[in-house]
Amino acid sequence: MTSTAPSITRRACLAALLATLPVTHALADSAWPSKPIRLIVPAPAGGASDMIARTIAESLRQDLKQTVIVENKPGAGGIIAVETMLGSRDGYTFVLSPNSLVTEGPHSYKFRFDPFKDLAPVAEVASVPLVLVADPKLPVKNVADMVTYVKARPGKISYASYSPGTLSHIKGMQFNKAAGLDMEHVGYKGSPPALTDVMGGQIQFMFDGMGTALPLFKTGKVRALAVTSPERSPFMPDVPTLAEAGYPNLSQIMGTTVWSTPDIPADVRNRLQQELLKAVASASVKSQLAALGMDAGKPKQSMNELADFLKRENERTGQALRAMNYQP
């Protein structure tokens, strides 16, 4: 009598082996994209990152003839969003996030992943300055007024950030030190709830992204005191820069990037990069981003150049935080 156990065992072993193969093999025999793409955003609906993601997603849908789903996973400095992608590793799940995910987050959060080994930047899709905004009911018209107002109320003034450990938080810390202030930080899960409290008077000030601050500025719901770009923004031409206000070392632009896992095939990453850069170069996406107060990404930047830039920004942030004796 012949036993069939060995062949069953061989089949089982083969199945187990195939199940452990990297995503490269899973994608090798199929034309990408053959199923819906997921863009995971570490911010709530209505925030700047969410608006960028939905703008990019619509362009990708049209060009790739494939569904692109935007999923919001806010909180924890982007950790939740990244771990969602790392848990999939299917070549169809990506993260769209401000660059603070890897430039600021690692200095404030204990990641269970290495942001420079487990994440691979594909393309920077947008850039935007931050705006120092204030509750419009305050007797504060400019940065000098703000400094005077805060110093007259020691220990009583707060500033919001759209998430602890992000540029919104760090810029407030840097301004505190540069101006000799003692504002208390209050972190939120995204810009919308933080701005709601600024408008309501529960929080007095905030460094927010142009995308979410601009419409509220236009309707008088917040007052813009300064922008962090080296030059005045064409979207707020009457609002001075922090450099003009006497704080040139606080100038900084915030980028937004799409990341993949590093183990997906090079041809898939290259295709995604091409499609993303094609999207941000289009007149439609540029106009939609401009309506949000944002500039499109850098079409001539390679993935290696982007990765090197993000590492330098991470080091720059670390130096700044150490100079302030920052403790997360």
Instruction: Please give the chain's pLDDT, 328 residues, in tens.
Output: 434 344 434 444 444 444 444 444 445 446 899 999 999 999 888 888 898 999 999 999 999 999 999 999 987 878 999 999 999 999 999 999 999 899 988 998 888 899 999 999 999 999 999 999 999 999 999 999 999 999 999 999 999 998 887 889 889 999 999 999 999 999 998 889 999 999 999 999 999 999 889 999 999 999 999 999 999 999 999 999 999 999 999 999 989 999 999 999 999 999 999 999 999 999 999 999 998 888 998 878 899 999 999 999 999 889 888 887 887 7
Look at residue 208 in the predicted model and tell me its pLDDT: 95
Peptide bond into 299 cis (omega under 30): no
Query: Using DSSP, how many helices (H) and how many strands (E) does the chain show?
Result: 12, 10
Please check whether residues 78 and 190 belong to one and the same domain: no
pTM: 0.78
Q: Tell me, what CATH number does 288's domain have?
A: 3.40.190.150
The reply to whether 14 falls in a domain is: no
Please check whether residues 116 and 139 belong to one and the same domain: no
If one counts the domains in the chain, the total is 2
Please check whether residues 245 and 261 belong to one and the same domain: no
Please check whether residues 51 and 138 belong to one and the same domain: no
Please check whether residues 90 and 145 belong to one and the same domain: no
Please check whether residues 218 and 246 belong to one and the same domain: yes
- Find how far residue 80's CA is from the centre of its chain: 13
State how far the alpha carbon of 328 is from the alpha carbons of 107, 216, 315, in Å: 8, 30, 17
Residue range(s) defining the domain that contains residue 110? 32-127+255-323
Look at residue 6 in the predicted model and tell me its pLDDT: 40
Please check whether residues 118 and 230 belong to one and the same domain: no
Nearest to 253 by CA among 194, 195, 293: 293
Q: Is 156 exposed, middle or buried (0-12, 13-18, 19+ CB in 10 A)?
A: exposed
Domain boundary among 232, 250, 268: 250
Listed in order, strand segments (DSSP E) in 118-182 are 120-134, 158-161
State how far the alpha carbon of 200 is from the alpha carbons of 47, 141, 161, 219, 249, in Å: 18, 18, 15, 15, 31
Please check whether residues 133 and 282 belong to one and the same domain: no
